[in-house]
């Protein structure tokens, strides 16, 4: 327990206790309320007075709803906050039409809360209190505040930006003033682009402990989602567990947001009714997110060119290393072609180790209920590995370099390199993931480590790992990097006569979607009299690995189609190896040509290889890391294939 003889609080309030209990933090947090000071420590006083370019302030409207207003110095400079003593602050601010500080009656005695935040250094300190007096003059506001709560906060999700007053701005323009829900498309776009917002909350009590809260939330751009145009969905990321903002929401069911765009200076303000969902109800709205706050927008305001400080042109944002990947709403996910699954297990059945760092893991798909797993060739599996490798215990902060592990849910995505649906004779489907170890990653070193250990101590188990009883959860299937017009579900060929001329470009482990597509084509090629003509360019440090994978797919080709004269599939492979020479050409049918090259893909590749004339009417698919993708796009452009004609998958989040 933190000891303080001068604590601002005597206990957590009922809302804070309720949310701490719902999340199971109440015992750990008992007594920690004493960390909230009843005055501004000297360090905070200096910080507010000298470091702030802007100051988000929580205030109430005439209906008692919280809004965040933003106070800035008249010229966007620091020094507009004057701290007279530990309890007394004067703010000499510029305000602009539309901002709650400009629009609302700020009477003496009204509640107020502030968040001093310096985005260039990730420092932030909160305070709360009352308005002593307010005076409007020349488009500005002189606000005297009494502070009776103060708390220093962690830098955890603050994205670092270099901000300064811009050289020139237009006058702020109010695009929308206190309009009822829904949000406009422009307002929704602003939310979906934001990596930062400010959250105002309120707690009302008859025992004299009423107060407002002003805080910050940050993440990757798009971490806040808008549902049906009228509900803002905020994922809760693991923090200090005080749960002051969510506690206020628990008690009041109200919240107000200001969402700034630091480049344009636009600010979206909104207020509404709010509630926090935990567990399954949260996951139904935002899959794989166990705590979300929903704010049903009641009123909103959009002001263009509002902020007198902006991100300095030409400077980049340094993202918080703690921010987890963006999670999307269930409804967005369906649109992105993702299918969420529950109760589907993957039983590890065999491991094929291709090299020290590459292996194919094959699983039997076990579906407990009505969930049927459908996979289109090229799609990826979303797998929860926490049952195998465990979940991280709670830690508030981590050492440099280990920050991302704090929010790691153990969920990873890999292309399904092979999928064999269940059949009448074989009741469970088979699914393979071909995984390359990411040496600085957290999950792939463990998976490949498992494969290597087995290979050295129990190699006989590699061909049948079922006795190990390793089960993972298949939580979704995702991806639109498929052959939609050619191959249907479960690899069944469509009956139309689309182009069967394909160009596939694979960088490194980017070969995996093509393995699935090739398998579908190979297994279906006997059903059509129209031959396939596939040009595969694959580049890897050691190209023997993708070549072996391709040859194992080709080995499944029906023998009747193996001879070159009657070939229904013509496959030409250009294999580029940048570090290891091609050691042996794997056994391949005669209709497969292999052209081995040393070195990386070059932008002149197609011309150098005399392939320029062979590019026409090919559907082009590209999968590889950023460097490979860049070169491949330039190589394609050099033979007249533009970005709009290339389907791409980068294995990015
Ligand atoms: C569509 C797609 C297909 C892919 N196919 C393949 C493939 O066939 N073979 C291959 O080797 N690699 C593939 N990858 C890349 C693969 O996902 C990464 O190599 C793997 O996540 C690395 O995990 P790690 O723990 O070792 O690395 P880390 O660096 O520890 O993890 C990667 C980061 O991504 C986050 N993350 C990863 N997956 C998810 C997820 N589903 N939800 C939330 N957060 C996540 C983690 O939190 C972490 O921050 C694919 C990626 C995508 C997006």
Residue nearest to atom 45 of ligand 1 (CA): 412
Sorting pLDDT into bands at 50, 70 and 90, what band is 169? confident
What pLDDT shows up at residue 559?
A: 59
Whose CA is closest to 187, among 202, 174, 199, 200? Answer: 174
The CATH number of whichever domain residue 79 belongs to comes to 2.30.110.10
Same domain, 318 and 387: no
- Whether the per-residue pLDDT at 529 is higher than 80: the answer is no
Domain total of the chain:
3
Residue nearest to atom 21 of ligand 1 (CA): 412
Same domain, 51 and 192: yes
- Whether the per-residue pLDDT at 590 is higher than 80: the answer is no
**pLDDT, mean of residues 168-184:** 93
Q: Measure 1 CA to ligand 1 centroid, in angstroms.
A: 39
pLDDT above 70 coverage of the chain, percent = 90
Distance in angstroms (rounded) separating the CA atoms of residues 212 and 244? 10
Between 408 and 632, name the one with better pLDDT: 632
Distance in angstroms (rounded) separating the CA atoms of residues 580 and 326? 37
Do the Cβ atoms of 648 and 531 come closer than 8 Å? no
Query: What's the first-to-final CA gap in the chain, in angstroms?
Result: 40
Backbone angles phi, psi at 212, to 5 degrees: -105, 165
Q: Measure 554 CA to ligand 1 centroid, in angstroms.
A: 27
Look-up of token digits 């092979």: 418
In this structure, is residue 428 part of a structural domain? Answer: yes
Helices 512-524 and 544-554: crossing angle in degrees, nearest 10, is: 20
The 3-state DSSP class for residue 392 equals: coil
DSSP alpha helix (H) spans, 264-392? 280-285, 330-335, 386-389
- Whether the per-residue pLDDT at 487 is higher than 80: the answer is no
Do the Cβ atoms of 392 and 408 come closer than 8 Å? yes
Torsion angle of alpha carbons 358, 364, 369, 372, nearest 10°? 70
Lowest mean pLDDT among 30-39, 70-79, 178-187, 267-276: 30-39
- Whether the per-residue pLDDT at 394 is higher than 80: the answer is no
Distance in angstroms (rounded) separating the CA atoms of residues 506 and 500? 18
Of 291, 310, 332, which marks where a domain is finished?
332
Domain around 65? 14-332
The CATH number of whichever domain residue 536 belongs to comes to 3.40.50.80
What pLDDT shows up at residue 580?
A: 73
Same domain, 305 and 371: no
User: Which residues neighbour 29 within 8 Å (Cβ) at sequence distance 6 or greater?
Assistant: 12, 20, 241, 242, 243
Whose CA is closest to 315, among 169, 161, 426, 456? Answer: 161
**pLDDT, mean of residues 253-280:** 97
In this structure, is residue 24 part of a structural domain? Answer: yes
Do the Cβ atoms of 302 and 198 come closer than 8 Å? no
In this structure, is residue 1 part of a structural domain? Answer: no
Do the Cβ atoms of 589 and 606 come closer than 8 Å? no
What pLDDT shows up at residue 491?
A: 42
Whose CA is closest to 482, among 508, 509, 519, 529? Answer: 519
Lowest mean pLDDT among 123-137, 152-166, 245-259, 496-510: 496-510
- Whether the per-residue pLDDT at 485 is higher than 60: the answer is no
What pLDDT shows up at residue 492?
A: 43
Of 478, 500, 516, which marks where a domain is finished?
478
Between 306 and 407, name the one with better pLDDT: 306
Task: Using the atom order of ligand 1, give the atom closest to the CA of residue 513.
Answer: 8
Of 284, 303, 332, which marks where a domain is finished?
332
Ligand 1, residues 336, 385, 413, 629: which to mutate, most atoms within 8 A of Cβ? 413
**pLDDT, mean of residues 354-377:** 90
Same domain, 500 and 618: yes
DSSP alpha helix (H) spans, 486-625? 512-524, 544-554, 605-608
**pLDDT, mean of residues 602-610:** 96
- Whether the per-residue pLDDT at 369 is higher than 80: the answer is no
Question: What is the residue-averaged pLDDT of the chain?
Answer: 89
Same domain, 324 and 363: no
- Whether the per-residue pLDDT at 486 is higher than 60: the answer is no
Q: What is the pLDDT of residues 317-349, one digit of tens each?
A: 999 888 888 999 998 887 777 887 888 999 999
Q: What is the pLDDT of residues 408-455, one digit of tens each?
A: 788 899 999 999 988 766 678 999 999 999 998 889 999 999 999 999
Whose CA is closest to 72, among 117, 11, 125? Answer: 117
Same domain, 260 and 368: no
What pLDDT shows up at residue 403?
A: 66
Same domain, 462 and 545: no
What pLDDT shows up at residue 455?
A: 97
User: Which residues are registered as beta bridge partners of 487?
Assistant: 493
What is the bridge-based pairing of β-strands 81-85 and 88-94?
Answer: antiparallel
Sorting pLDDT into bands at 50, 70 and 90, what band is 605? very high
Distance in angstroms (rounded) separating the CA atoms of residues 454 and 522? 32
Token pair listed for 567: 């070939």
What pLDDT shows up at residue 560?
A: 55
What pLDDT shows up at residue 651?
A: 87
Task: Give the binding-site residues of ligand 1, using a 6 Å CB cut-off.
Answer: 325, 380, 382, 404, 408, 411-415, 434-436, 438, 441-444, 479, 509, 512, 651, 653
In this structure, is residue 636 part of a structural domain? Answer: yes
Q: Measure 89 CA to ligand 1 centroid, in angstroms.
A: 48
What is the bridge-based pairing of β-strands 254-260 and 267-278?
Answer: antiparallel
Helices 14-23 and 244-252: crossing angle in degrees, nearest 10, is: 110
Sorting pLDDT into bands at 50, 70 and 90, what band is 306? very high
Same domain, 441 and 519: no
Whose CA is closest to 653, among 474, 412, 433? Answer: 412
Q: Measure 264 CA to ligand 1 centroid, in angstroms.
A: 33
What pLDDT shows up at residue 2?
A: 41
**pLDDT, mean of residues 305-326:** 92
In this structure, is residue 2 part of a structural domain? Answer: no
- Whether the per-residue pLDDT at 495 is higher than 50: the answer is no
Lowest mean pLDDT among 112-121, 215-224, 237-246, 479-488: 479-488
**pLDDT, mean of residues 401-406:** 68
Task: Using the atom order of ligand 1, give the atom closest to the CA of residue 409.
Answer: 47
In this structure, is residue 8 part of a structural domain? Answer: no
In this structure, is residue 246 part of a structural domain? Answer: yes
Same domain, 321 and 425: no
Whose CA is closest to 69, among 87, 82, 56, 53? Answer: 56
What pLDDT shows up at residue 489?
A: 41
What pLDDT shows up at residue 229?
A: 97
In this structure, is residue 570 part of a structural domain? Answer: yes
**pLDDT, mean of residues 616-645:** 95
Task: Using the atom order of ligand 1, give the atom closest to the CA of residue 404.
Answer: 49
Q: Measure 539 CA to ligand 1 centroid, in angstroms.
A: 20
Same domain, 320 and 380: no
What pLDDT shows up at residue 398?
A: 66
Q: What is the pLDDT of residues 531-548, one digit of tens each?
A: 789 999 999 999 999 999
Sorting pLDDT into bands at 50, 70 and 90, what band is 17? very high
Same domain, 452 and 557: no
Task: Using the atom order of ligand 1, give the atom closest to the CA of residue 407.
Answer: 47
- Whether the per-residue pLDDT at 281 is higher than 90: the answer is yes
Q: Measure 415 CA to ligand 1 centroid, in angstroms.
A: 10
Q: What is the pLDDT of residues 137-167, one digit of tens each?
A: 887 999 999 999 999 988 889 999 999 998 7
Q: Measure 500 CA to ligand 1 centroid, in angstroms.
A: 31
Same domain, 423 and 562: no
């Amino acid at each position: 327990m933190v000891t303080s003889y001068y604590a601002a609080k005597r206990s957590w309030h009922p809302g804070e206790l309720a949310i701490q209990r719902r999340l199971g933090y109440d015992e750990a947090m008992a007594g920690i309320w004493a960390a909230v000071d009843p005055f501004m420590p000297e360090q905070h006083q200096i910080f507010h007075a000298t470091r702030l370019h802007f100051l988000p302030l929580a205030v109430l409207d005439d209906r008692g709803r919280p809004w965040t207003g933003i106070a800035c110095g008249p010229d966007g400079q620091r020094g507009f906050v004057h701290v007279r003593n530990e309890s007394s602050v004067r703010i000499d601010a510029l305000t602009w039409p539309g901002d709650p500080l400009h629009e609302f009656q700020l009477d003496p005695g009204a509640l107020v809360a502030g968040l001093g935040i310096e985005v260039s250094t990730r420092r932030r300190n909160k305070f709360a209190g009352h308005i002593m007096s307010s005076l409007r003059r020349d488009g500005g506001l002189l606000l005297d505040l009494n502070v009776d709560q103060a708390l220093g906060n962690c830098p955890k999700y603050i994205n670092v930006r270099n901000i300064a007053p811009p050289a020139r701005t237009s006058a702020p323009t109010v695009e929308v003033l206190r309009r009822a829900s829904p949000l406009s498309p422009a307002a929704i776009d602003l939310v979906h682009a934001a990596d930062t917002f400010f959250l105002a909350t309120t707690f009302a009590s008859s025992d004299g402990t009423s107060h407002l809260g002003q805080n910050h939330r940050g993440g990757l751009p798009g971490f806040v989602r808008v549902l049906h145009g009228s509900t803002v969905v905020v994922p809760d990321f693991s923090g200090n567990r005080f749960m002051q903002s969510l506690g206020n929401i628990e008690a009041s069911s109200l919240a107000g947001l200001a969402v700034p765009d630091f480049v344009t200076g636009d600010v979206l303000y909104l207020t509404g009714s709010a509630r926090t969902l935990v567990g399954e109800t949260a996951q139904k709205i935002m899959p794989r997110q166990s705590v979300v706050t929903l704010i049903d927008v009641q009123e909103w305001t959009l002001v263009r060119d509002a902020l007198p400080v902006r991100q300095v042109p030409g400077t980049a944002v340094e993202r918080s290393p703690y921010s987890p990947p963006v999670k999307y709403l269930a409804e967005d996910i369906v649109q992105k072609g993702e299918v969420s699954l529950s109760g589907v297990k993957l039983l590890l059945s065999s491991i094929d180790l291709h090299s020290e760092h590459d292996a194919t893991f094959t699983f039997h798909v076990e579906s407990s209920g009505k969930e049927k797993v459908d996979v289109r060739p090229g799609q990826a599996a979303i797998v929860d590995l926490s049952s195998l490798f465990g979940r991280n215990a709670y830690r508030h902060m981590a050492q440099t370099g280990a920050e991302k592990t704090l929010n790691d849910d153990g969920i990873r995505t890999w292309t399904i390199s092979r999928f064999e649906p269940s059949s009448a004779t074989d009741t469970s489907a088979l699914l393979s993931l071909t995984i390359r170890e990411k040496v600085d990653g957290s999950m792939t070193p463990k998976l490949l480590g498992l494969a290597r250990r087995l290979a050295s101590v129990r190699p006989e188990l590699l061909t049948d790992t079922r006795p190990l009883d390793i089960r993972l959860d298949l939580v979704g299937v995702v991806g639109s990097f498929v052959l939609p017009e050619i191959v249907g579900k479960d690899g069944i060929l469509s009956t139309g006569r689309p182009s069967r001329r394909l160009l596939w470009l694979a960088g490194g482990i980017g070969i995996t979607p093509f393995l699935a597509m090739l398998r579908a084509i190979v297994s279906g090629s006997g059903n059509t009299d129209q031959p396939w003509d596939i040009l595969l360019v694959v580049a890897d440090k050691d190209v023997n690995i993708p070549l072996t994978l391709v040859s194992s797919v080709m080995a499944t080709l029906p023998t009747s189609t193996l001879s070159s004269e009657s070939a229904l599939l013509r496959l030409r492979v250009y294999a580029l190896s940048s570090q290891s020479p091609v050691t042996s050409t794997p056994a391949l049918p005669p209709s497969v040509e292999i052209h081995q090259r040393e070195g990386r893909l070059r932008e002149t590749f197609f011309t150098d290889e005399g392939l320029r004339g062979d590019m026409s009417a090919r559907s082009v698919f590209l999968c590889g890391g950023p460097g490979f993708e860049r070169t491949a796009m330039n190589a394609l452009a050099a033979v007249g294939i533009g970005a709009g004609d290339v389907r791409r998958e980068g294995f990015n989040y």
